[in-house]
Structure 1
């Protein structure tokens, strides 16, 4: 069975803006795929990705499979690592695009931009697994935080089950994702999902590495131990751009429950 999962947040990225009334996203930088939310890494993020590679390429146990959110900033973050590992014939030789670990966007009345697909990404990132099919996908109208946790639970349940049944018996997998997803992943894997989603528990610094070790049971989720919580000691600037949930992150205005009850009378 799979024994270890490394989870990485993408390195320091450039920014986009959103008009919450119109639902229009804008990026001040040219994006690799033309999608405004698919912003690239900053120059500092590129440096972080190189430092991250030095750490991941010597990780124990060694990485056998690599999964990534389909956003370019995640694939850029992995590139120095995959170039070295794949060049040495390690880590499966391909990155598996998993839309189930794509960026979290709050529930909205408008449709968020879809993550880029293989057709857009393959000319930019040639080491993508053309045969792999994502297990899940974010809702186009965004998610409530509970729905995000459900998505991550289902994604990792499928991912781990597939790796457990892999004839080559991979021991360790690497997943590159985003801040909210990294927090939800820690909660789902360990089974420590707080009543208050705003609780400050699992960290998600840029280019930080979390490590989860499987306990003795055979459960796919809920039975892992966190032994590294967004480790950043290998980064020259240490922990940066920490993030945590702050309310529902929703763009939808929900009615006051008391007023809603009155209106129903």
Structure 2
């Protein structure tokens, strides 16, 4: 059996952090359970979203039979209510019930699904060690071997695409080997958008094209196009499809060996307050060429990022707040 469906969810509503673009110092007003300023927990509203998401995920068809997550706390916290309810529900029903997957779900933590930081002259924070995360989330599979983590000094946009491409190819291949029918991926806004583009083969030359959406706890669904017995698509057919599509989608790089159809695009219909905190690309988030008075090109959300001016003894600079 080959993998048929990939569900992708962005983490729920979280608290913000800020970064000093000159020193690379990250700060947060609310302490994270992992102790890392760029690894915040969900807000109370985010927890509510995660619980609403869990109810929705339990009713999906085909049902989820494997879960992958970014190593950041907010992504794991977003899917934990679903995994816990699934496993509790499984324990109470007969394994012959066709509506309930027979296996207990675990979470494969994959660094390749982690947060995107722009290139910088300083090192960005990393996620917490797997041993610490396993102590916080009991359903993590400690034996899973992750993809490589992002570069500590950040990534260009092509490097982001390459990292996500390698990660999702690896996930699809593993699921095919293990006979998984559908999987859930919990990740971040930039990765949500890049995954949509890679899976459908619709990678624009202009990164700021608004195509695949990324709302908090929004759920996207991708179904495999079964071109051959193994679901793989030849290079010739990929090129024909790209020429037929026309428009801005002409880039030949980052092609996956499989092609997927987008069925839902960050659906939030199951959330009480619907679509919130949408995110789009609007720059490369690079810190490399910043002077002391400069602000970086940034990404945008429906609630704009804010900058807080702080004065020093003889000069001032801007802390960039990421929501």
Give the TM-score, by structure 2 length.
Answer: 0.76
Task: Establish whether residue 229 from structure 1 lines up as the match of residue 241 from structure 2.
Answer: no
Residue of structure 1 aligned with 2:212, choices 202, 214, 231: 202
Unaligned runs of 5+ in 1: 255-265
Distance 2:24 2:257 in 1: 35
State the Cα distance separating 1:136 from its structure 2 match.
2.6
Deviation, 1:102, is 0.4
What residue is the counterpart of 2:235 in the other structure?
none
Residue in 2 aligned with 1:44?
45
Higher-Rg member (1/2): 2
The answer for the alignment partner of 2:203 in structure 1 is 193
In the other structure, the counterpart of 1:14 is 15
Query: For the residues of structure 2 that align with 1:132 and 1:29, how far apart are their CA atoms?
Result: 30
Per-residue CA deviations over 1:19-69 (Å, capped at 9, x if unaligned) read: 010001001001011111010100100000010011101111000100000
Tell me what 1:125 maps to. Answer: 137
Tell me the residue number matched to 1:257.
none
Is 1:216 matched up with 2:226?
yes
Aligned residues of 1:100 and 1:155 also touching (Cα < 8 A)? yes
Q: Does 1:183 align with 2:221?
A: no
Structure 2: stretches of 5+ with no match in the other structure: 91-100, 233-255, 291-323
Aligned to 1:65: 66
Deviations 1:117-171 (A, max 9, x none): 21111111111101101123111110011111111110000110111011xx110
SS in 2 for 1:48: helix
The reply on whether 1:54 has 2:46 as its aligned counterpart is no
Q: Which residue of 1 aligns with 2:128?
A: 116
How many residues end up aligned between the 2 structures?
Answer: 252
Q: CA RMSD in A?
A: 1.2
2:162 — aligned with what? 150
Query: Is 1:101 aligned to 2:113, yes or no?
Result: yes
Calculate the TM-score normalised by the size of structure 1. 0.92
Query: Which position in structure 1 is the counterpart of 2:177?
Result: 165
